[in-house]
Amino acid sequence: MNPMTISDQRRRIERRCEIEKFCEAVESLPPKNRIIFRLYFRDGESLKSIGEVCGVCKGTITRRLQKIGKEIEEMLYGNGVAINACSPRAGRLHILKR
């Protein structure tokens, strides 16, 4: 078994910090947006089912998720972290350094 190199350890620590910053950004969202975000990205709910829960159409949820993704990216961009593919069409999140 190969021991972890210093650069591997550094990358792991950096990644953990990026994830923590991302989680803080999600927690700072207004409650309604945080719920929509979690239902879609964490729980895997469909746009239609989220719309039904929120009492709006699927297109509205799509637009809200796009706006939420931009809000999170703005919060993180100043910290050197960016969100890539944070959209309903992508279906998952990728946290990347800029």
Q: What pTM did the predictor assign?
A: 0.69
Per-residue pLDDT of 7-45, as tens digits, reads 888 888 888 888 888 889 999 999 999 999 999 999 999
State how far the Cα of 15 lies from the Cα of 65, in Å rounded to an integer. Answer: 24
Q: How far apart are CA 81 and CA 46, in angstroms?
A: 27
Instruction: Compute the 3-state secondary structure of the chain and give helix, strand, coil in percent, each to the nearest 5.
Output: 65, 10, 30
Specify if 16 maps to a domain: yes
Query: Are 61 and 52 within 8 A, CB to CB?
Result: no
Would residue 62 count as lying in a domain? Answer: yes
Residues 73-89: pLDDT tens digits? 888 876 555 555 444 54
- CATH number of residue 34's parent domain: 1.10.10.10
In a domain, 3, yes or no: no
Is the model's pLDDT at 60 over the cut of 90? yes
Domain membership of residue 2 (yes or no) is no
- Domain of residue 23 covers 9-97
